[in-house]
Structure 1
Amino acid sequence: MWKIVDYFNIAGVLSDETSPHPKCTFMSCTTTIHVATKPHLHMTIDDAAALFDLPDLRPAIHNYLDHCTNSIDHHITGRRHASLNCGLPSDKIQIWTKVCIQVRNYHNPGMVKPAQTMNIAPPSQEHPCGLYNSAVFSLSAESDWPAWGLNGHMIVQLRLVFRMLGTDQFLTYVQRFHVTPPTGLRMDAAATGLHILKRAQRNNGERIGDVLPLSHLRSPVHLIPCFGKTANPRLTTHTSHELSTKFWLNHYWNKQIYYCLSLCSM
């Protein structure tokens, strides 16, 4: 019989201060995150910005470090007070293109669900726009997920998972979605019971992104592109998520997500 690896137990053992740093398996109040001991890529911040198409990566990191507190909601604005050439404590980062996440059973928190792998991979021949999964993130270190659904949480797309050399903290650059609950939709759209997501963008169409602690990650989610009356002819299996700006938040992806999103209020 296939045995589920309990990353919560592993994270508990590694929580001892005498354990090696940085800890590659760590947990929040509801979720355990595991990254490989060895990063997949090493490069400068500017090279990573070019590879992952994140032109404001450097000022986003500066913005995070400048406002690093327990609660992050006050600087999730997309505004940048630093220039593209701003100085940082280190110019080199380690990058992970995959992250394992494990959550507890919704009805029986004493049981853990199988770990899921989340991809944050740059463009390649198979995935010309990259492969970036979406997730629920908490606005603060503590969280009541999944008890109250999306209250105090946001839906984001992971665009980069990294660690700056000389630090022990894993960070992630995310791009946010504006969320409209079913009760705020037209009657025909509300009949699905699904939230509508729209990419957060500036007036010039540039996506809004921020750097957040990876430890604020709570759960993977599944998005379904909304094609509208006429689908973009450029859409393919590998590009539909990157070329779309509007999505359904799929409550029916699995039972865990159904209970978290459908039975809890916004």
Structure 2
Amino acid sequence: MTVADASVKYGLPDLFFDLSRFLAQHHGCSTLVPSDMLQIWQKTLHAIAPSTVNPHSQYDSVILSAKPQSDWPKCGLVGHSVVQLHITFRPPHSDFFAVYIQHFNVVLQSNPANVSLVTGMHMLKWAVRANGQRNGEVVPLTFVRSPAHLIPNFGPKAHPCLTKLSSYELSSEFWLNKYWSKEFYYALSPM
């Protein structure tokens, strides 16, 4: 699939710009053109574009390290972030894999552990630019550390169009579910 086609199919208008910037910064290559081909893997972690059957797509969330070496899960979220994975691909003319991700911000809580006193979980919100567009970028696949399970926070009134297929795209706040697995629980629980 071409970079231009992937940008349209996955609803990522900044894909070309973000991929060009990534290649220039990390690999000294800036000769990307919209017709360059990407090899895309949709099902390693779910990164399935919108379709007529599912207009809201299906993307998995993951824990991402900001650097190649990581001490996940030993230090919890310190030095890590939660992101939604949109495409896993091999850039043109390269021998490495990359991912296009969109960021979440951790909502500050009124306690030192920065978790909800009721749920014991971190609250997340989409990271957005000034124009309201979600903040995304291209990073090496090696920065992905773990799958993450998010639970939409519906608030006092849920969006009327929510379904099991649309809840992630129509919600703006999420709980990072530390109860999802034993390893995840220990990684996100203060010692």
Matched, 1:199 2:143: no
Which stretches of structure 1, 4 residues or more, deviate above 6 A after TM superposition? none
* Structure 2: runs of 5 or more not aligned: none
Q: Which residue of 2 aligns with 1:88?
A: 32
Partners of 1:209 and 1:165 lie apart in 2 by 20
Deviation of the 1:180 alpha carbon? 3.0
Deviation of the 1:92 alpha carbon? 1.2
Q: What letter is aligned with 1:55?
A: P
Partners of 1:124 and 1:138 lie apart in 2 by 31
Q: Secondary structure at the match of 1:263?
A: coil
Partners of 2:67 and 2:24 lie apart in 1 by 16
Note closer, same or farther for the CA distance 1:206–1:59 as it changes in structure 2 (3 Å cut). Answer: same
1:70-81 equivalences under 5 Å are none
Q: Secondary structure at the match of 2:20?
A: helix
Q: Which residue of 2 aligns with 1:222?
A: 149
Q: Secondary structure at the match of 2:160?
A: coil
Matched-pair contact (CA < 8 Å) for 2:116–2:122: no
Q: Which residue of 1 aligns with 2:168?
A: 241
Q: Which residue of 2 aligns with 1:173?
A: 100
Partners of 1:174 and 1:227 lie apart in 2 by 23
Q: Which residue of 2 aligns with 1:208?
A: 135
Q: Secondary structure at the match of 1:47?
A: helix
Q: What letter is aligned with 2:89?
A: F
Q: Which residue of 1 aligns with 2:65?
A: 138
Q: Matched residues, percent identical?
A: 45
1:1-266 equivalences under 5 Å are 43-68=1-26, 87-88=31-32, 91-99=36-44, 118-180=45-107, 183-184=110-111, 189-263=116-190
**What TM-score do the two structures reach when normalised by structure 1?**
0.66
Matched-pair contact (CA < 8 Å) for 2:89–2:97: yes
User: How many residues are aligned here?
Assistant: 187
Matched-pair contact (CA < 8 Å) for 1:163–1:170: yes
Matched-pair contact (CA < 8 Å) for 1:182–1:193: no
* Structure 1: runs of 5 or more not aligned: 1-42, 70-85, 100-117
Deviation of the 1:48 alpha carbon? 0.3
Which structure: larger Rg?
A: 1
Q: What letter is aligned with 2:102?
A: Q
